C-alpha cells in the first residue's frame, strides 16, 4: 500500500508539467484561431467601434496573448478558479461541474456496454478463428471503425426516434419535476449505444488479437495437457493474461471517447461537457473552452494512472516501484 501511494504521488507530480504544456498549447491555438469573442455583442444596427473596444477591455482580450495566459494561469494556481464565462459571467467551474455528471454518465455507460460486448466477442472470435461467426464479427468491427459516430447517431435518430418512435431523440429526461430512473435510462439508450458502437468495434479486435497470442503460449498448452476443460483453459488461464493489453487500450480510448461526446451530446442535445464545449467554441468563450480542455486533460492523465495501477494488479510481474 505504501509503495502504491508513493507511485501515485510520483506520477501526479510528473503530470503537472504535462498539464502545463497542454494549457499553453491549448491557449495559443484558441486565441490564434479566427474569430472574436466580442462578436456575440455586435449588432450591425447599433453600437460603434468604441463600444467594441470597451467590451474587449472588459473581457481582457485586448491584451497580448502572454498577458492573457498569465492572468488565467495565476487565477487557476492561486485560487483554483477557471475564470468567468464571457457569455453570462458565471464561474466556469460551476458551469462545468453542473455538466460533468451527464458526461460521466454517458461515457461510463458507453464504456460499460463496450466492455460487456467487446470482451466476449473478441474471445469467441479468437477461439472460433476463421469461422463464419468470426468473419461476421470482423466485418462488423471494420464497419464500426470506419463509420463515423455522428453518422451512426443520425441513423439511429432517424430509425428509432422518428420512424419507430421507440426512444426520445434528445435531452436527458422528460420528467423535470421528480427523478425518474426509467425516464433517464430511456433517454440514455440511444446516445450511449451510439458512443459505444465504435468502441466495441476497436476493442473487440484488440481482444481477439491479444487472445490469439495468449492461446499459443506454453502455459495454455500445459493447462490442456493436465486435462482441464477448454472452458477453464480459456476463461481462467488465458483470459486473464489476454486482458493485460486491453487495460492499456481502455485508457488510450478515453480521449477518443471524450472527443466522441462532443458530437454525440450535440446531436442528442445531451447537457454535458461536450455540448458546453461546442457552444463555447461557436461564441469564442475562451474561459469555458480552456476550462473544459483542462478538465478533459486531467481526466485523460488520471485514466492513464489508473490503467498503470490496474496493469500491475492484473499482472503480478509488474512492479509499480520500478516504473
Residues 222 and 214: their CA atoms lie apart, in Å, by 13
CB 261 within 8 A of CB 196: no
* Segment 133-178, tens digit of pLDDT: 888 888 888 888 888 888 888 888 899 888 888 888 887 777 766 7
**pLDDT value of position 2:** 72
pLDDT band at 48; cut points 50, 70, 90 = low
Looking at the DSSP bridge assignments, the partners of residue 84 are 91
91 DSSP assignment: B
pLDDT band at 41; cut points 50, 70, 90 = low
Percent above pLDDT 70 for the chain: 88
Helices assigned H by DSSP within the chain: 2-32, 49-59, 65-79, 92-127, 132-146, 149-156, 181-214, 218-225, 230-232, 239-267, 273-283, 286-314
**pLDDT value of position 315:** 60
Angle at the Cα of 156 (from 133 to 114), degrees rounded to 5? Answer: 50
Architecture of domain 92-322: Orthogonal Bundle (1.10)
For 19, counting Cβ atoms within 10 Å of its Cβ (0-12 exposed, 13-18 middle, 19+ buried), the class is middle
Pairwise pLDDT comparison (231 vs 106), residue with the higher score: 106
Residue 295 CB contacts under 8 Å (≥ 6 apart), including other chains:
96, 100, 273
Looking at the DSSP bridge assignments, the partners of residue 91 are 84
pLDDT band at 280; cut points 50, 70, 90 = confident
Residues 232 and 214: their CA atoms lie apart, in Å, by 14
Residues 293 and 316: their CA atoms lie apart, in Å, by 35
Domain ranges of the chain: 2-79, 92-322
Residue 172 CB contacts under 8 Å (≥ 6 apart), including other chains:
102, 184, 187, 270, 271
Amino acid at each position: 500500500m505504501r509503495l502504491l501511494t508513493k507511485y501515485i504521488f510520483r506520477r501526479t507530480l510528473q503530470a503537472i508539467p504535462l498539464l502545463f504544456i497542454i494549457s499553453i498549447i491549448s491557449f495559443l491555438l484558441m486565441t490564434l484561431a479566427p474569430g472574436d469573442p466580442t462578436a456575440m455583442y455586435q449588432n450591425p444596427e447599433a453600437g460603434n467601434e468604441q463600444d467594441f473596444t470597451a467590451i474587449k477591455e472588459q473581457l481582457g482580450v485586448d491584451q497580448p496573448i502572454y498577458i492573457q495566459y498569465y492572468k488565467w494561469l495565476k487565477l487557476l494556481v492561486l485560487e483554483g478558479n477557471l475564470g468567468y464565462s464571457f457569455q453570462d459571467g458565471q464561474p466556469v467551474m460551476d458551469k462545468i461541474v453542473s455538466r460533468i455528471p451527464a458526461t460521466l454518465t454517458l461515457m461510463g455507460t458507453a464504456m460499460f456496454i463496450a466492455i460487456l460486448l467487446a470482451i466476449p466477442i473478441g474471445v469467441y472470435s479468437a477461439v472460433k478463428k476463421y469461422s463464419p461467426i468470426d468473419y461476421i464479427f470482423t466485418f462488423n468491427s471494420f464497419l464500426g471503425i470506419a463509420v463515423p459516430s455522428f453518422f451512426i447517431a443520425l441513423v439511429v435518430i432517424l430509425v428509432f426516434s422518428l420512424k419507430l418512435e421507440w426512444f426520445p431523440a434528445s435531452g436527458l429526461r422528460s420528467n423535470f419535476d421528480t427523478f425518474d430512473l426509467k425516464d433517464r435510462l430511456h433517454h440514455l439508450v440511444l446516445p450511449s449505444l451510439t458512443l459505444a458502437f465504435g468502441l466495441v468495434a476497436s476493442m473487440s479486435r484488440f481482444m481477439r488479437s491479444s487472445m490469439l497470442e495468449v492461446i499459443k503460449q506454453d502455459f495454455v498448452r500445459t493447462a490442456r495437457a493436465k486435462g482441464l476443460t477448454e472452458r477453464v483453459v480459456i476463461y481462467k488461464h488465458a483470459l486473464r493474461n489476454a486482458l493485460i493489453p486491453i487495460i492499456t487500450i481502455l485508457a488510450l480510448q478515453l480521449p477518443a471517447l471524450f472527443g466522441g461526446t462532443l458530437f454525440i451530446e450535440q446531436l442528442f442535445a445531451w447537457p454535458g461537457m461536450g455540448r458546453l464545449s461546442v457552444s463555447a467554441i461557436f461564441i469564442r468563450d475562451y474561459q469555458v473552452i480552456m476550462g473544459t480542455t483542462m478538465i478533459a486533460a486531467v481526466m485523460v492523465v488520471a485514466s492513464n494512472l489508473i490503467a498503470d495501477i490496474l496493469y500491475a494488479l492484473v499482472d503480478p510481474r509488474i512492479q509499480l516501484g520500478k516504473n
